[in-house]
Structure 1
């Protein structure tokens, strides 16, 4: 095996583009691992930890291609990555006059004086400075970058507060602003429901479900996962609530977060009560009885948030929670699991979406199935070895534990698929629970390679010896991947596809309970 790299001095590209190039060259025959990153100190450490550092010398403004594999394959991968980096967009009819290259936010603002939103995706060490520049230029900020300290986040958001501007992030991966999808967003209908979420895939689940129910999104604003920590104080969510309250196109407001710090939650709920519009709240895993807030509808799951928001919009009665299994579901699940031998008892969850992993853990735990995880909910166990499951195990493959030096599984599902293959081959596994997340930036055919993996395991074990596979597909018909096509592909391979993440987790719990009673 060879390890090779190439450094491009003073060449910058955003992290999503780099992850997509990494994903492409990772799939080349003979390549064991590849990474395309900026040469920050953090990234250099990650390359070293991943075994991709062979004396690479680079600065934070330099771009690195690093590969490990067969010698000729490494050369091919380096050449392909360089070609992708140097490829230019199609020329427009500009009479041969090229527009100037914009090298700063100041130049961009001069070119487009009415621009009021900056999307920042630079290494975390430099993200705060760029966000502050954008705010001082009078622009709202979507900060895609992660690895920004809490102290810097607070500094950025307090400045935004002074200037009456919005900061989405750090680590804000999804937003929809005035109908424009940003980051890992889905193609949803415009409408009258506004969402503020401290969770990227939580926002995707709610916005997609609203679209599937025939309604639409006015605005979908991300806050970043740390916004509701006590140190930050919910600054971005409070701004979002106020903005949606004053937005004439928004008739219903939805708030999504993992359990906030209690004082922050109370502040947000007080602000929501003043909105003068119906507000739906899902603080995942929090006890709604603790808050005693009139005029706000608390819900149990992400899918419930969408269902209730649409009902309120249409002035209909509040629907029952999706967190239940119908007799028809029980009949199907019982028939599908009847062949499983008694020793197959364990739930194995393999998720690309961090909030889906979190919600699945909560629901399985409520059904009596505690689990180990690399990102455990309260009461669950920290997984001692993230690469190997122990008992019921539900992992977030998009967490830093798995993505250091690798593309996110929504972009390149290879590592996720390998984990599913291992879980299917484990004789203790009763059910493998997983998600497919569609939308801009995500893998164009996320089911294809997975179906090959399932086919290989089925051929080896036999169809009757295969654990059950239960999936949930987060997306819409208008997404580039087309949700119904992905669902059809999965079902043809024998995968049971639930209507939402919560339903999938309940199905998995039902199967595990049936096995425990054998």
Structure 2
């Protein structure tokens, strides 16, 4: 086993590009681990801890790209480095073939293209505020993809944005669609008259995808960053986004997605919405419908309901849903229960989407099934991400514990696959619950990574004489690069039950568990 390093001086690539490259390198024959990172002190510590920096490592700085390979042989390490060179070379060649001019600074980019009014900032958190401020000084709206930005910096950036009349979406804003252009982790959805604003990244993906499946379309989908509705931030970006959607002639229906806002922020939001002359649907996940009493805002209990109500309103129909019919889910649950042993009464959920994990926790709690989680609502059920699962457990594997120095689980499936194998070995587990999130920025073939792992998990259980129910929700459209139907076929061929949305997947899991425990 050897460690191989290379430093590319004064070479910068965004974090998503480096995460994708790292993930692909780890999949090469003979490669035990691999990472490509910018040479910050934090990344140096992470790579050292992972054993990816050898004793002969040449000096590097924050403006350098560092390649670290842990491989079974010199040949495998060299092959991984050659792969990285080819991958980056292809990126460079593609960029050079475009007519766009490349600039080294925001100011140079603005000078070269005076009409540009939008910037995506993806730098380490300590540098994020400075870069976002530069962009706003140049009159550009900002999508701040960076995480690890302090709350104080976020408040100051959003104050500046409001003063300048600019959007400052983030920090840690992963999903946005502006005039049909997808930014960050976003899906290819048809254009239409529904505008969304969300403090929930995968929640925004889920609802836009469901709107597309239901025949509706999206005018804009604006992310605010998950902390925007906290009392300290005062919902500044939510307010600005609502103004933008109200004034947007393409937007005829407005959808709001988030966890329940701070009380002061909710009161401010409702005052603002009193003057909006467009239908407004709100899904404040985990909140009380009484929050909206006396307002003109329509309550949605989950992400699926939000999409259905929005499409009804977009068609000029009254946004009301008929009573839910779970007959099909009950039939599926009965069929699965007949295959499971009486002791297989527990569930394990492994999520790449934090909002989807959170929604599932809520829906299971509503069904009388509290769950352990690293993002638990009840502190009595809070589980450290690295701790073994217990009883019913749902994990957000996009949480900082799992992504500290590692690619997001929408890009790299290694940690989730390893955890799946652990959970399948537990004889008390009957249900494995997963999400499969597609779109730009995510893995090129999520089902291609999940399907073999699902097959192995089911085979592992079968060796012990057990059945394993695997339920997967797929967040994707046919127009996505991964193609929804292809993802469904791969998952179903591996023996998974696929559901059209996360809420239905959660409800099916709840029905299986409740039927098992009633025996």
TM over 0.5: yes
Structure 1 residue 204 corresponds to structure 2 residue 205? yes
- Contact 2:424-2:460 within 8 A present in 1 as well: no
1:76 Cα deviation from its structure 2 partner:
2.2
Q: Which residue of 1 aligns with 2:311?
A: 310
In 2, distance between residues paired with 1:476 and 1:270?
A: 36
Q: Give the superposition deviation at 1:417.
A: 1.9
- 37-46 or 425-434, larger mean C-alpha shift: 37-46
What is the CA–CA distance in structure 2 between the aligned matches of 1:46 and 1:142, rounded to whole Å?
26
> Retained in 1: the 8 A contact 2:184–2:441?
yes
User: What is residue 27 of structure 1 aligned with on the other side?
Assistant: 27
User: What stretches of structure 1 of length at least 5 have no aligned partner?
Assistant: none
CA distance in 2, matches of 1:139, 1:90: 26
Cα drift, residue 59 of structure 1: 2.0
- Cα separation, partners in 2 of 1:90 and 1:270, compared to 1, 3 Å: same
- Summarize deviations over 1:102-127 as a string: whole Å, max 9, x none: 11001100111111101111121111
Which residue matches 1:89?
93
SS in 1 for 2:347: strand
- For 2:449 and 2:145, the matched residues in 1 are separated by 28
Corresponding residue SS for 1:433: strand
Quote how far apart the aligned CAs of 1:52 are.
2.9
Out of 370-379 and 259-268, give the one that drifted further.
370-379
Contact kept? 1:255, 1:279, Cα under 8 Å: yes
Equivalent-residue separation in structure 1 for 2:379 and 2:298 (angstroms)? 26
Structure-2 residue corresponding to 1:260: 261
How far apart in 2 are the matches of 1:35 and 1:439?
23
- Is 1:284 the equivalent of 2:279? no
Is the CA contact (8 Å cut-off) linking 2:176 and 2:182 kept in structure 1?
A: yes
Partner of 1:66 in structure 2? 68
Task: Tell whether 2:350 aligns with 1:350.
Answer: yes
User: Tell me, which stretches of 5 or more residues in structure 2 are unaligned?
Assistant: none
Query: Structure 1 residue 325: deviation in Å?
Result: 5.8
Q: Shift of residue 458 of structure 1?
A: 3.4
User: Separation in 1 of the partners of 2:121 and 2:115?
Assistant: 18
What is the Cα deviation at residue 379 of structure 1? Answer: 5.3
Counterpart secondary structure, 1:68: strand
2:219 and 2:2 map into 1 onto residues whose CA distance is 51
Please state whether the residue corresponding to 1:295 is helix, strand or coil. Answer: coil
Matching residue of 2:81:
78
Q: CA 1:309/1:380 → structure 2, altered by over 3 Å: closer, same or farther?
A: farther
Q: Secondary structure at the match of 2:283?
A: strand
Greater mean deviation of Cα atoms: 411-420 or 209-218:
411-420
Q: Is the 2:454–2:496 Cα contact (8 Å) retained in structure 1?
A: no
Is the 8 Å Cα contact of residues 371 and 380 (structure 1) preserved in structure 2?
no
User: Would the alpha carbon gap of residues 415 and 205 (structure 1) be closer, same or farther in structure 2, given more than 3 Å must change?
Assistant: same
Q: TM-score scaled by structure 2? A: 0.94
Structure 1 residue 358, shift from structure 2 partner: 0.5
| CA distances 1:302-332 after superposition (whole Å, capped 9, x unpaired) | 111111011111122334379x561222112
Match of 2:473 in 1: 472
Partners in 2 of 1:440 and 1:99 — Cα distance? 21
Aligned to 1:399: 399
**Correspondence 1:183-222 to 2 at 5 A:** 183-222=184-223
1:117-156 paired onto structure 2 within 5 Å: 117-156=118-157
- 1:86 & 1:387 partners in 2: Cα distance? 41
Query: Residue 454 of structure 2 contacts residue 470 of structure 2 at CA under 8 Å; is this kept in 1?
Result: no
Q: Is 1:7 aligned with 2:7?
A: yes
What is the TM-score normalised by the length of structure 1?
A: 0.95
The count of aligned residue pairs is 514
Distance 2:330 2:234 in 1: 43
Deviates more, 1:460-469 or 1:85-94: 85-94
Q: CA deviation at 1:6?
A: 1.9
| CA distance in 2: counterparts of 1:216 and 1:380, whole angstroms | 41
Counterpart residue number, 1:271: 272
Summarize the Cα distance change of 1:307–1:41 in structure 2 as closer, same or farther, 3 Å threshold: same
SS of alignment partner, residue 93 of structure 2: coil
Shift of 1:99: 7.1
What CA distance in whole angstroms lies between the structure 2 residues aligned with 1:157 and 1:303? 30
> Are the aligned partners of 1:374 and 1:386 in contact in 2 as well (CA < 8 Å)?
no
Q: Tell me: CA distance 1:344–1:325, structure 2 relative to 1, closer, same or farther (3 Å).
A: farther
216-225 vs 367-376, greater mean Cα deviation:
367-376
* Structure 1 SS opposite 2:331: helix
C-alpha distance in structure 2 between counterparts of 1:291 and 1:100, whole Å: 49
SS of corresponding position for 1:187: coil
The CA deviation at 1:93 is 7.5
Tell me the distance in 1 between the aligned counterparts of 2:100 and 2:468.
57
Q: Deviations over 1:135-172 (max 9, x none)?
A: 01111111111111111111111111111111111111
Q: Give the CA RMSD over aligned residues.
A: 2.0
Q: Return closer, same or farther for 1:366/1:218 CA change in 2, 3 Å cut-off.
A: same
Range with greater deviation from structure 2 (350-359 or 382-391)? 382-391
Matched, 1:511 2:507: no
Q: Partners in 2 of 1:115 and 1:483 — Cα distance? A: 33
1:389 paired residue number: 389
Contact 1:349 1:432 in 2 (8 A): yes
2:341 paired with 1:338: no
